[in-house]
Structure formats: C-alpha cells, structure tokens
Structure 1
Amino acid sequence: MEDMLRVGVIASTHGVRGEVKVFPTTDDPSRFKQLKEVILDTGKEHLPLEIQQVKFFKNMVILKFKGYDNINDIEKYKSKDLLIPRDQAVELEPDEYFITDLIGLEVRTEDGEILGTMKDVLETGANDVYVVQMKDGKELLLPAIGDCILNVDLEQGVMTVHILDGLMDL
C-alpha cells in the first residue's frame, strides 16, 4: 500500500500572487479546508507546503501556499501531484477503498480462476467500473457493485468477483 495518497494535481497558476488552480483527485474537494499542509511531488523530491488560503472556483480548488508569493515561484510546479500522508486520509466506509490500493490486485472468479490484474477505475455517475487487464490482453469492465465484487482482500492482494451474465461476451 502507498504511504502517500494524491489529493490533487496543480493544473495552472492563478493570478500573479503565487496561487494555483488544483484539480482535486479526492471525492470531497471541501476537505482542502481542513488540510494545513500538502506534500508536493516535484518528481525529484517531496516538498512540504503549508496551505495559507483555500478558495473554490467551478470544479477547481485555488490554493495559496505560505512563502510562495508570486507566479514565478510556483509556475514550475504545474502538472505536479499534491499528496497527503495516509494517516490524514478520510475515513472510509465499509467496502470503500482508495483507488491506489485496488490497482494491481489479482482478480479471480469465485471459482478461483485467475482473470487478470486490476488496471484502472472508471468513475461514473451510478457506480465505479473496474478495468481488469485479462491474461489474453483484453480488458474486462466490471461494475463495482455487490453482486459483482464479492471480496477485496488488500493484504492478500486479491479481488474475488462474480461474472454477471453478458460481461464476458465481447
């Protein structure tokens, strides 16, 4: 499991005073109001940034970091991830998982047949859809519903699924 979880990506600068527009990768963008600090993944290092101000604009979060007071200080961080330690993550409900924990799980049928590896999660309006990279190279799309996803064992690295009628028809 990852020690750090991504909560956003710096999309662009905002104004000339060092603010940035952040695309939130969390289900609840308002959680930025409770964060005091985020960690910037520069690609070379993890840089702690103290949040000075939080605003919201359309689907974006506008952040101002302490010590970054003009556009030139912050512009180089466009497209970089903002992370938090796992211990600062929101509490999950039963049968809720962080996407990063699901990626890479071995996916098996209820009969023990190995289907492939969890590759991605598509977030749709009704329910998430799990993308499984099958052994034959094809992708299988599984709805993240109780009838289909029987068990997720993060410690064993295995997801057990029931293939609903029609899902394997290509």
Structure 2
Amino acid sequence: MTYYNVGKIVNTQGLQGELRVLSVTDFTDERFKKKSVLALFDDKDNYIMDVEVASHRKHKNFDIVKFKGLYHINDVEKYKGCSLKIAEENLTDLDDGEFYYHEIIGLDVYEGNTLIGQVKEILQPGANDVWVVKRKGKKDLLLPYIPPVVLDVDVAAGRIEVELMEGLDDED
C-alpha cells in the first residue's frame, strides 16, 4: 500500500491527548476532519497503526489533532516525532489545475526546450506555493506557483513548462 505524508507530530498539547502537528498538506481541513483515517509511522518510517481523527483545531502555525481512543497525554506522548500519512486509496480527486505534492515533486521543469531542473520540494510561505527546483551546477531555483510563471503542468508526461520572469533566476 502506498502512503503520502500529511504531517509530523512535533509535540503534545495539554493533558487531554491532543497532539501538535506540523502539516505538510494543502488540504488540512479534509485530512484532519473528524472520522478521517490516517496512518501513523515512526521516525524510521515503520507503520505503527491507523488512527481516526476525533477532533481538530488550528493553533498558531500548528494543527492540534486528537485521535479516537487516545484521550490522555500518557496515551500519545510516545508518538512525538512520528509522521501522519494518508493511504493512496483515501485521496480524493482534484479539480483541473490542482495537484497533490507527490505528483509535482520529481517533475522536470522546462523553459521552452531547455531543461531547468527538477522539482525537489514545495514551500508554503504565504499567498502561493513556491516550488524548489534543483539545478545542475547552480543554486536551487525558487519558482512561485503563479500563472505568469507556471504555464503548464503535465503530470503524465513528467513535465512542467515555465516562463522565468526577469529577476527570478539570480544566476543569469
């Protein structure tokens, strides 16, 4: 079975079994909604168990999540440092122009016929995502996911077509 990362448990929150999660998904409301089933993996990426979300709320930059059957700090403290993942069959279909991170990471980025590099990471600094493109012999390129820059994404072909605006590539 294939799983995709949705967050990392960084600490406990209070005494009632809540966990502080650093989310790595655009779909936090869907991933952490009540009755959602997530898989818990340890720090060595070994499957531990499935957990069902009992409650979710936002607090500062974290998602505070409580799981069914784990209602005390002593029940959850051992899961600090663990990852939360979603099984592939639980992913929902997205609208046109929307992508899961795992679909974008690893795609080749082209400007015309020139290969720029490959998407290695996606950052969420604010208004829009920023794709980190690994390039040979150059520093990584930070590519904002906005229409004037990202012209086309073809997941099936493994290709992203971009137009680098002036000032985006500081090594030219």
Asked if TM exceeds 0.5, the reply is yes
- Tell me: CA distance 1:37–1:95, structure 2 relative to 1, closer, same or farther (3 Å): same
Q: Tell me, which stretches of 5 or more residues in structure 1 are unaligned? A: none
- Tell me: CA distance 1:156–1:123, structure 2 relative to 1, closer, same or farther (3 Å): same
Contact 2:39 2:47 in 1 (8 A): no
Query: 1:91: how far off?
Result: 4.2
Q: Say if 2:158 is the partner of 1:157.
A: yes
The residue aligned with 2:98 is 96
Contact 1:5 1:89 in 2 (8 A): no
Query: 1:148: how far off?
Result: 1.8
Query: 1:70: how far off?
Result: 3.1
Contact 2:34 2:55 in 1 (8 A): no
Residue 160 of structure 1 aligns to a residue whose secondary structure is strand
Residue 76 of structure 2 aligns to a residue whose secondary structure is helix
Residue 11 of structure 2 aligns to a residue whose secondary structure is strand
The residue aligned with 2:19 is 20
- Tell me: CA distance 1:162–1:116, structure 2 relative to 1, closer, same or farther (3 Å): same
Contact 2:34 2:54 in 1 (8 A): no
Tell me the TM-score normalised to structure 1 length.
Answer: 0.81
- Tell me: CA distance 1:47–1:151, structure 2 relative to 1, closer, same or farther (3 Å): same
The residue aligned with 2:130 is 129
1:166 and 1:59 map into 2 onto residues whose CA distance is: 30
The runs of at least 4 aligned residues of structure 1 exceeding 6 Å deviation read: none
- 1:41-92 per-position Cα deviation (integer Å, ceiling 9, x unaligned): 1222252012233344344333222332432332121122211123433543
Q: Tell me, which stretches of 5 or more residues in structure 2 are unaligned? A: none
Deviates more, 1:17-26 or 1:72-81: 17-26
Tell me the TM-score normalised to structure 2 length.
Answer: 0.80
Residue 30 of structure 1 aligns to a residue whose secondary structure is helix
Root-mean-square deviation (CA), in Å?
Answer: 2.5
